[in-house]
Structure 1
Amino acid sequence: MLYPELYAQLEKARWNMADDIPWDTFEGDKLSDEQAHTIKMNAITEWSALPATEMFLRDNQHDSDFSAFMSIWFYEEQKHSLVLMEYLRRFRPELVPTEEELHAVRFEFDPAPPLETLMLHFCGEVRLTQWYRCASEWHTEPVIKAIYKHLSQDEARHGGAYLKYMKKAIAEYGDQARAAFAKIGLLMASSARSAKPLHPTNLHVNESLFPNDTIQSRLPDPDWLEDWLTSKIRFDEDWEARVVGGILRNLSSLFEVPLETVTALNRYRKQILANLKEAGDGAVPDAAV
């Protein structure tokens, strides 16, 4: 069981919103209305950890260890939303999200294979680590710079925790887990082929609500994310390369195979699928996909 170990590790690294955020260093002339608007959108986006947690608990009833870890992940992700809202409450109170705006991003996600979802969110944590690091560099106001730095470090730790559960899954399910992880890893590392940012909050998750079934589509400003990345924090090719590199390096370690390019990952994926076909393995059980 990983939960006790992860609890101890993350407890040691946890920051305190009252004591570890330098609220008294705020410099109002370094925060524009445009920047404050982006903070509001991120606060609402982070609130979507609520429906994501509901999804994880529903689809992982077979796995009490991972479900227990959700208590940590959910707490820390909701704190991200809370600290951003606290920043606005103190310095831009007119932009604090309303309860209705927060509730709008809480909706049911369609059931999905748990291991593919695990890999999707691992990649999401890798991406958020870099998004928030870039955001911290873009902002010039000291308090929000510090907040985004804390958020980035949290997301990196969450990615590390997900990776431990991926290693556990490979030990239990072997090539079936490798196939699931390689499939989603290939999708999420192929960012250059996509016309939109590849992150769980920007993917369709409820067929009956399509096209209004992404987190971003339910924000007060549905076009905010792409504009934030391209026109505001300028998350360019160099930053994107850090995301792709992070995914490939972690998969190399996970699979114990050098994977330096997306092409190499695709070759590996095809080999794993061939191995499964040769072995005559059927579909992975719902509780193990």
Structure 2
Amino acid sequence: MLYPELFKQLEAVRWNMEKDIPWDQFDASKLTDEQAQTIKMNAITEWSALPATEMFLRDNQGDSDFSAFMSVWFFEEQKHSLVLMEYLRRFKPELAPTEEELHEVRFQFDPAPALETLMLHFCGEIRLNHWYRRASEWHTEPVIKKIYDTLSKDEARHGGAYLRYMKRAIQNAGNEARAAFTKVGVLMASARRTAQALHPTNLHVNQSLFPRDTVQSRLPNPEWLEHWLDQQIKFDAVWEGKVVDRILHNLSLLMDRSFKTVQELNRYRKEITRELAAAAPNAA
């Protein structure tokens, strides 16, 4: 089991909201209303770890190890929402999310292949790590800069934990896992070709609720994410390239094969797909 070791590792570096956030360094002159609004949107977005956890537990009922790890992931992700809300409560109480606004992003996700979902969230952690690093640079108020830096490091650790479960999946499922991971990897590393940001909170997950079946579509300002990325934190092609490089680097380690470009990863995906198809008649 991976859960006991991951619990110990994450417990050892867990930050304390009262002791590790320098609340006394707040400088009101360096916080704008525009910046505070983005904090509210991120606080609500982080609250969507609640329906994501419900999805993970439902779709991984046969995997008690991974389901137990969700207790750690869920706790830390909800803490992200909480610390952002605490910041607003202290310094911009009029912008603190209401319970109704938080509950709006709790909706059921359609069942999906567990391995593909695992890879999707692994890539999501990488992307969020980079988004929060850039947000920390963009903000001017010292306390929120520290908060975003702290959250970015949590997201990196979560990505590392998901990677451990992906390695285990390849050991147990072989090409089935490789096919799932490369399929989603090609999608998530191709964000420069898409009109929207590729992150789990921006993907359609409930056909019956379409088009309001993404987390972002249920925010008070559904257009916020694109504006935040493009106009505010300026998550440009250089930063997107860093995300793609991390996805390709980790998949190279995972598959024991070098992928320098998305095209190389896609060729490998097709190779694995052919091997699976060739093996199917024999299995039957």
TM-score of the aligned structures, taking structure 2 as reference length:
0.99
The answer as to 2:143 corresponding to 1:180 is: no
TM-score of the aligned structures, taking structure 1 as reference length:
0.97
Per-residue deviation, 1:281: 6.4
What is the correspondence of 1:1-289 to structure 2 with a 5 Å cutoff?
Answer: 1-280=1-280
Amino acid corresponding to residue 101 of structure 2 in structure 1: E
Amino acid corresponding to residue 11 of structure 1 in structure 2: E
Query: CA distance change for structure 1 residues 255 and 220 in 2, over 3 Å: closer, same or farther?
Result: same
Per-residue deviation, 1:67: 0.1
Per-residue deviation, 1:164: 0.3
Distance of 2:33 and 2:178 partners within structure 1: 46
Q: Deviations over 1:131-158 (max 9, x none)?
A: 0000000001000000000000000000
Query: CA distance change for structure 1 residues 262 and 281 in 2, over 3 Å: closer, same or farther?
Result: farther
- State whether residues 192 and 237 of structure 2, in contact with CA within 8 Å, keep that contact through their aligned partners in structure 1: no
Query: CA distance change for structure 1 residues 200 and 114 in 2, over 3 Å: closer, same or farther?
Result: same
RMSD of aligned alpha carbons: 1.0
Aligned residues: 283
- State whether residues 132 and 152 of structure 2, in contact with CA within 8 Å, keep that contact through their aligned partners in structure 1: yes
Percent identity between matched residues is 72
Per-residue deviation, 1:243: 0.5
Per-residue deviation, 1:193: 1.2
Amino acid corresponding to residue 29 of structure 2 in structure 1: D
Query: CA distance change for structure 1 residues 252 and 211 in 2, over 3 Å: closer, same or farther?
Result: same
- Structure 1, unpaired ranges of 5+: 284-289
Distance of 2:279 and 2:203 partners within structure 1: 33
Per-residue deviation, 1:234: 0.3
Per-residue deviation, 1:19: 0.1
- Structure 2, unpaired ranges of 5+: none
Per-residue deviation, 1:227: 0.2
Q: Deviations over 1:226-246 (max 9, x none)?
A: 000000000000100010001
Per-residue deviation, 1:282: 9.1
Distance of 1:64 and 1:121 partners within structure 2: 18
Distance of 1:173 and 1:6 partners within structure 2: 22
Q: Deviations over 1:242-266 (max 9, x none)?
A: 1000100000000000001000000
What stretches of structure 1 move > 4 A for 4+ residues in a row? none
